[in-house]
Structure 1
């Protein structure tokens, strides 16, 4: 796997990756905020065919917009990030789909789960984003268009747009080819 915007502090051990997310990092393009940011942390591998990617994410979110999860990326103008995002002192299951402009969908979680399981399925021209709190019962958050039949980057994403950073652990990241 390769880092895009490698954090200063991180480690990899067996089936987990620990990251000390650096502050003032983000992935966003234009919409509502009128800025472009492409300096979040992304630890990825290449994937040329359809796949299912999954991971367990456990973060110590504390500041507005602290976020961690999965990212699928073609380039700086075409990507999807999904995971937990901390807004109004509450964790939200979150997805941002970007095709030149970012859009954002959230599902508030009043119980602030200790961990979330994410599954991202790319099949032809679509990406399905599912989440779970027990790794058995999954809910669909979003189904989005993504350019088909092109090689992409898939991996772990974390950012802290407004705060000083936080700690996150990713466990059991896997990519299963389904072509």
Structure 2
């Protein structure tokens, strides 16, 4: 695994990755805000073909847009990030899909869960994003077109657009090659 924009402070603690974000880090392209940012932290591995990735994480959410989760990345103009994004004191299940310009979909989570699980399933040109509050029952958050590229980066992602020092602990990150459908429903 390797870093895209390594944070100044991080530790690999065996089966956990602890990160403290840098100042005003983010991944975003143009839509609504008018700026381009490619400064967030992503600890990735290259994955070829269809896969299923899952991660569990917890964060010290305090400031607007503090965020953590999973990233699937082809280039600086073609990527997906999903996870928790903190807005107005609420943790949202969030997915951003970027093909030159970013879009953003969110759903508020019930309560302020201590930790959450996110799963990304890729099958050819389709990606499904799911999340869970208990690690067992996963809820579909997004199904999106993600033009097929043979190799992508996949891994934990975090950022803090309004500050530095957002602390995140990632655990149980897995990536498996998979030929299963992205959805279990028709």
Q: TM-score, normalised by structure 2?
A: 0.94
Aligned residues of 1:66 and 1:165 also touching (Cα < 8 A): no
Aligned to 1:101: 101
Partner of 2:184: none
Cα deviation for residue 4 of structure 1 reads: 0.5
RMSD: 0.8
The equivalent of 1:91 in structure 2 is: 91
Report what 2:171 is aligned to: 171
User: Following TM superposition, by how much is the alpha carbon of 1:149 offset from its aligned partner in structure 2, in angstroms?
Assistant: 4.2
Q: Is the 8 A contact 1:68 1:84 kept in 2?
A: yes
Query: Are the equivalent residues in 1 in contact too, given 2:23–2:160 (CA < 8 A)?
Result: yes
Q: Name stretches of at least 5 consecutive residues in structure 2 with no aligned partner.
A: 180-186
How far does the alpha carbon of each residue in 1:114-141 deviate from its partner, in whole angstroms, 9 at most, with x for none? 1010100011001100000101110000
> Greater strand percent: which structure?
1
Whole-angstrom CA distance in 2 between matches of 1:84 and 1:144: 18
Q: Deviations over 1:127-160 (max 9, x none)?
A: 1000001011100000011111421000010000
Is contact 2:74-2:149 (8 Å) kept? Answer: no
2:119 is the alignment partner of 1:138: no
Q: Distance in 1 between matches of 2:89 and 2:149?
A: 40
Aligned to 1:52: 52
Stretches of 4+ moved more than 6 A in 1?
A: none
TM-score, normalised to structure 1, is 0.98
For 1:114, what is the secondary structure of its paired residue? coil
Unaligned runs of 5+ in 1: none
Q: Give 1:23's aligned residue.
A: 23
Once the 2 structures are TM-superposed, how far is the Cα of residue 166 of structure 1 from its aligned partner?
A: 1.0
Find the residue that maps to 2:21 and give its secondary structure: strand
SS of the residue aligned with 1:61?
coil
